[in-house]
Amino acid sequence: MNAREITLLALQETEQKNMKSEHALDKLFKRHKPGTSDRALATELFNGTLRLQLKLDHAIRQYYHHDLEKAAPLLRNILRLGAYQLLFLNRVPDWAAVSESVKLARKYKGKHLAGMVNGVLRSMSSESGAPIFDIQGSLCRQLSIETSHPEWLVQRWLDHYGESVTKAMLAADNEPPLLALRINTLKTDIETMYKALNDASIPFSVATPEQCILAQNFEACEPFIRLGLLSVQNPTQALPCLLLNPDKGDTIIDMCAAPGGKATYLAELMRNEGTILAVDRYPNKCAKIAARAETMGISIIRTVPADARTFRPDVQPDALLLDAPCTGTGVLGKIAELRWRTSPEKLEELTSLQAELLDHAAELLKPGGILVYATCSVEPEENALQIHHFLERHPDFERESPPVKLPENIFQEHESAPGSFLTLPGQHEGYNGGFAQRLRKK
């Protein structure tokens, strides 16, 4: 099975089975074991087609004389895959992009539709010289199609952040994300790890905090990950742990713990002394957290398969981290399919769930304890407004600045909201969008 066929099947798994994109592609790689070049091509085709879906559909509609929304999903993805190669991959000849797409159509959809795919893609090729992206309409519509983001989301960002910042966010979402890793200081120290990476000729840059690094080659870093010396975590997701600032010996609850990046970082900050209850409703995810902790030499994490909305610990924790389920609009560059899965209705549903989780967290925490609320969203309803409404419901909580100095170039504290930060895509190289707020129970 070649790279294009693997890509097509991964697109189908992601769209039709609601599978996470990284899992869909990885599953097919393990099953079919493509060579290095096919693996690299499939990754490029898959991520590019998924990110630019809306822009590709806009181009296809100029040559496909039927309702594209009513076309079979497999046919749509064959056309998108072919269009991506024609329009965005200069190293793939037009004839190859068309021919390989026709082969896929013939194999999966039959001779008749293979002819239609041939006609659409040949008309779209550079030989036709058609002005494919002459986009008319409002600024919002133009940005939506040009950057392949839902129009409703682009309008929200324009309203909240203005044109310049919105354009930077949209552009960042379409850039291949850097690999973000955290050095496990329980097994090594920062300087030793830097030297090991340099000795292995692995290019990297240092992020903030300094135990976070940014790289490009996952395969080169994988041996260090398998040894537990490095773990995958974006620096934006590391910052809430610094905001919580745990002490050795603390009892901490990580309420929505999967995949375990924050729980393991908290354990590192605590020097593996104390107790961390990592709560997740799915037992298989709890097993993965436990395996991750074991690889990293961490013994203080106890996984709890339970619904965070109803879970009750035996003792009140000193601190509680709630990395809440959210729309994920801060990580659309990393998880491209989220832009097609979220909606205003989904946003409303999730803000309600977040409020429920926050109210339960407030009940569990002991007086004087610390609550850190975090999301990977850039939507005010899930972030600053969520905290505002929480404090109205819970006057026994107050915002609090952390007792440690956080990185000035990332951490921006506002007088009206001490102890909080908001990062936006495109603001700092390698950083996702995200939000966190530190609160103390009086």
What is the identity of the amino acid at 333? G
The pLDDT > 70 percentage for the chain reads: 97
Nearest to 434 by CA among 386, 365, 424, 37: 424
Q: What would the two tokens of residue 283 be?
A: 């037992």
User: Picking from 86-100, 228-242, 319-333, 401-415, which range would have the lowest pLDDT averaged per residue?
Assistant: 401-415
- Tell me the C-alpha distance between 306 and 256, whole Å: 10
What is the identity of the amino acid at 112? H
Q: What is the pLDDT of residue 409?
A: 64
Q: What would the two tokens of residue 221 be?
A: 């870093």
What is the identity of the amino acid at 407? P
Give the CA-trace dihedral at 238, 240, 242, 248, to 10 degrees: -100
E strand or H helix that includes residue 396: none
Coil/strand/helix, residue 165: helix
Cα dist from 237 to 5, 122, 243, 372, whole Å: 34, 45, 11, 12
pLDDT tens readout for residues 205-216: 999 888 999 999
Q: What is the pLDDT of residue 405?
A: 73
Q: What is the pLDDT of residue 111?
A: 84
Q: 435 with 420: CB under 8 angstroms?
A: yes
Reduce the secondary structure of 124-139 to three states and give it as a string.
HCCCCCCCCCCCCCCH
* 281 phi/psi in degrees, rounded to 5: -75, -20
Cβ neighbours of residue 235 under 8 Å, at least 6 residues apart? 180, 182, 207, 208, 209, 212, 410, 430, 431
User: Is the N-terminal amide bond of 259 cis, ω within 30° of 0?
Assistant: yes
Specify burial of residue 352 (Cβ count, 10 A radius: 0-12, 13-18, 19+). exposed
Q: What is the pLDDT of residue 349?
A: 98
Give the CA-trace dihedral at 372, 378, 379, 380, to 10 degrees: 60
Coil/strand/helix, residue 95: helix
Confidence class for position 378, pLDDT limits 50, 70, 90:
very high
Evaluate if residue 406 carries a pLDDT over 90: no
Q: 231 with 180: CB under 8 angstroms?
A: no
- Averaged pLDDT for residues 352-359: 98
- Averaged pLDDT for residues 384-408: 90
Q: What is the pLDDT of residue 236?
A: 94
Nearest to 161 by CA among 146, 148, 172: 172
Q: What is the pLDDT of residue 38?
A: 94
User: 164 vs 136, which has greater pLDDT?
Assistant: 164
pLDDT tens readout for residues 168-190: 999 999 998 999 999 999 999 99
Cα dihedral 249, 251, 255, 258 sign? positive
- Averaged pLDDT for residues 269-282: 98
- Tell me the C-alpha distance between 164 and 35, whole Å: 42
Q: What is the pLDDT of residue 112?
A: 84
Confidence class for position 130, pLDDT limits 50, 70, 90:
low
Helices (H), 52-203: 53-60, 73-88, 94-109, 111-124, 139-147, 151-173, 190-199
Q: What would the two tokens of residue 371 be?
A: 């609550």
- Tell me the C-alpha distance between 327 and 192, whole Å: 38
Specify burial of residue 315 (Cβ count, 10 A radius: 0-12, 13-18, 19+). exposed
Give pTM, 2 decimals: 0.94
Confidence class for position 403, pLDDT limits 50, 70, 90:
confident
Cα dist from 390 to 206, 245, 314, 385, whole Å: 36, 22, 25, 8
Coil/strand/helix, residue 107: helix
User: Which domains are delineated in the chain?
Assistant: 3-124 (1.10.940.10), 139-173 (no CATH), 235-441 (3.40.50.150)
Q: What is the pLDDT of residue 210?
A: 85
Specify burial of residue 14 (Cβ count, 10 A radius: 0-12, 13-18, 19+). buried
- Averaged pLDDT for residues 67-80: 95
Evaluate if residue 131 carries a pLDDT over 60: no
